[in-house]
């Protein structure tokens, strides 16, 4: 059994790191990290380079691709600029990612991709899509709740406008008949006179 | 707890700079600099210049070793390189080849 390794908070490694067993990074690594075991980029840890391992857990910052044989887990506070690739990927609320995310490596790809996508979307955009979805389905109430009264009134007017217009049109259509009779009356009167 | 542990299965190729204790039990090739103590474990293989507050060598080291405080080669340790330190000990059973500068 190989012993686990730690790169402490006060340590900077410039070069490649590779080996068996687990590695915890609380310091800085400027180079690729390739382990057969688990890799933890702890809080305050920073890696500029590609990271590969059995399972990669990130609470710190990584600028590079993450590739794991088992899982990539981005915890709260993680900042990753790079691509993620693993059979299982977890992105916690509060983790930042910029890059492509691919779950791959397990036999049944399409269901897993769907499942992963279903899992990932809520995880990444958890709060936002729900908030966006609500206004789409019921715009007036959400806007009334969230915005000022003015904008809410505008929305109400916008929503209500079609109805008044329809009523006006109906009203416009209705008056002519009364007018015509009156004209008719006048005309009849003139005719009579 | 040591600040940084380069474990038995780990290989680093490059420079390691630290301001905390560094323990090497794996392989290191490049350069190792620490402002605290450096310990080279029994099964480690290091091809690097080492600088630390104090350096203890129980494994194989090829490279120059510099320490303002002390350098100790433990029994079973092997050092090929120059040593510059205020204090320097070579334990019985250790092997060493190189020059010594004790800043006399």
Enter the ipTM: 0.91
In Å, how far is A145's CA from the nearest CA of chain B?
53
Assess A39–B contact: CB distance below 8 Å, yes or no: no
Out of A125, A146, A177, pick the residue that ends a domain: A125
Average pLDDT over chain B, rounded to whole? 95
Q: Are A9 and A97 part of one and the same domain?
A: yes
So what's the pLDDT on residue A79? Answer: 96
CA distance A135 to B57: 68
| DSSP 8-state assignment for residue B76 | T
Of B4, B15, B30, the CB nearest to A7: B4
Q: Within 10 Å of residue A121's Cβ, how many Cβ atoms?
A: 11
Residue ranges of chain A with per-residue pLDDT less than 70: 1-3, 106-193
Average of per-residue pLDDT across B38-45: 96
Residue reference for tokens 């009156």: A182
Helix or strand (DSSP H, E) at B80: strand B78-80
Percent over 70 (pLDDT), chain B = 98
The residue segments making up the domain with residue A185 are 133-192
Q: Global pTM?
A: 0.68
Is B81 a residue whose pLDDT tops 60? yes
Whole-angstrom CA distances from B4 to B33, B40, B56, B63, B89 are 12, 12, 15, 20, 24
Give the residue from A1, A2, A4, A13 with the most B CB atoms within 10 Å of its CB, the best one to mutate: A13
Q: Which residues of A touch B24 (CB under 8 A)?
A: none
Q: Are A156 and A63 part of one and the same domain?
A: no
Q: Are A116 and A142 part of one and the same domain?
A: no
Residues of B in CB contact (< 8 Å) with A are 2-22, 25-27, 30
Q: Are A27 and A78 part of one and the same domain?
A: yes
Q: Are A120 and A142 part of one and the same domain?
A: no
Out of A101, A125, A149, pick the residue that ends a domain: A125
Question: Which one, of B76, B48, B43, lies nearest residue B63 by Cα?
Answer: B48
Higher pLDDT: B45 or A126? It is B45
Question: Which one, of B82, B12, B20, lies nearest residue B44 by Cα?
Answer: B12
Q: Are A18 and A95 part of one and the same domain?
A: yes
Assess A8–B contact: CB distance below 8 Å, yes or no: yes
Lowest mean pLDDT among A28-37, A156-165, B18-27, B63-72: A156-165
Q: Are A24 and A107 part of one and the same domain?
A: yes
Q: Are A118 and A65 part of one and the same domain?
A: yes
Out of A125, A141, A172, pick the residue that ends a domain: A125
Q: Are A138 and A117 part of one and the same domain?
A: no
Q: Which residues of A touch B8 (CB under 8 A)?
A: 2-3, 21
How would DSSP label each residue in B10-45? EEEEEEEEESS-EEE-SEEEEEEEESS-EEE-TT-E
Q: Are A119 and A168 part of one and the same domain?
A: no
Of A11, A14, A19, the CB nearest to B10: A19
Question: Which one, of B31, B39, B52, B55, lies nearest residue B6 by Cα?
Answer: B39
Number of domains in chain A: 2
At A42, is the secondary structure helix, strand, or coil? coil
Residue A34 near residue B32 (C-beta atoms within 8 A):
no
Per-domain residue ranges of chain B: 4-92
Q: Which residues of B touch A37 (CB under 8 A)?
A: 9
Question: Which one, of A59, A106, A67, lies nearest residue A86 by Cα?
Answer: A67
So what's the pLDDT on residue A166? Answer: 54
Q: Are A139 and A120 part of one and the same domain?
A: no
So what's the pLDDT on residue A111? Answer: 45
So what's the pLDDT on residue A188? Answer: 55
So what's the pLDDT on residue A107? Answer: 39
A21 contacts B9? CB cut-off 8 A: yes
B20 contacts A5? CB cut-off 8 A: no
| DSSP 8-state assignment for residue A139 | H
């Amino acid at each position: 059994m190989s012993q686990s390794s730690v790169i402490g908070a006060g340590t900077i490694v410039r070069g490649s790191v590779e080996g068996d067993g687990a590695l915890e990074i609380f310091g800085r690594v400027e180079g690729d990290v390739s382990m057969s075991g688990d890799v933890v980029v702890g809080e305050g840890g920073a890696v500029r380079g590609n990271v590969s391992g059995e399972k990669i857990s990130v609470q710190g910052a990584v600028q590079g691709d993450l590739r794991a044989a088992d899982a990539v887990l981005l915890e709260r506070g993680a900042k990753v600029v790079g691509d993620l690739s693993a059979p299982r990927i977890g992105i916690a609320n509060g983790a930042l990612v910029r890059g492509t995310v691919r779950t791959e490596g397990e036999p049944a790809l399409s269901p897993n991709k769907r499942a992963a996508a279903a899992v990932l979307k809520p995880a990444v955009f958890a709060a936002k899509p729900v908030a966006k979805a609500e206004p789409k389905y019921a715009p007036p109430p959400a806007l009334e709740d969230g915005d000022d009264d003015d904008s809410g009134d505008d929305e109400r007017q916008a929503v209500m406008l079609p109805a008044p217009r329809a009523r006006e049109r109906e009203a416009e259509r209705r008056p002519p008949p009364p007018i015509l009779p009156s004209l008719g009356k006048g005309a009849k009167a003139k005719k009579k006179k | 707890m040591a600040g940084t542990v380069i474990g038995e299965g780990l290989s680093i190729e490059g420079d390691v700079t630290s301001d905390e204790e560094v323990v090497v039990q794996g392989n290191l090739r490049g350069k190792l600099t620490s402002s605290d103590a450096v310990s080279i474990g029994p099964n480690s293989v290091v091809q690097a210049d080492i600088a630390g507050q104090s350096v203890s060598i129980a494994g194989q080291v090829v490279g120059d070793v510099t320490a303002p405080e002390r350098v100790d080669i433990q029994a079973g340790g092997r050092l090929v390189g120059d040593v510059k330190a205020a204090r320097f000990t070579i334990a019985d059973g250790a092997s060493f080849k190189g020059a010594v500068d004790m800043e006399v």
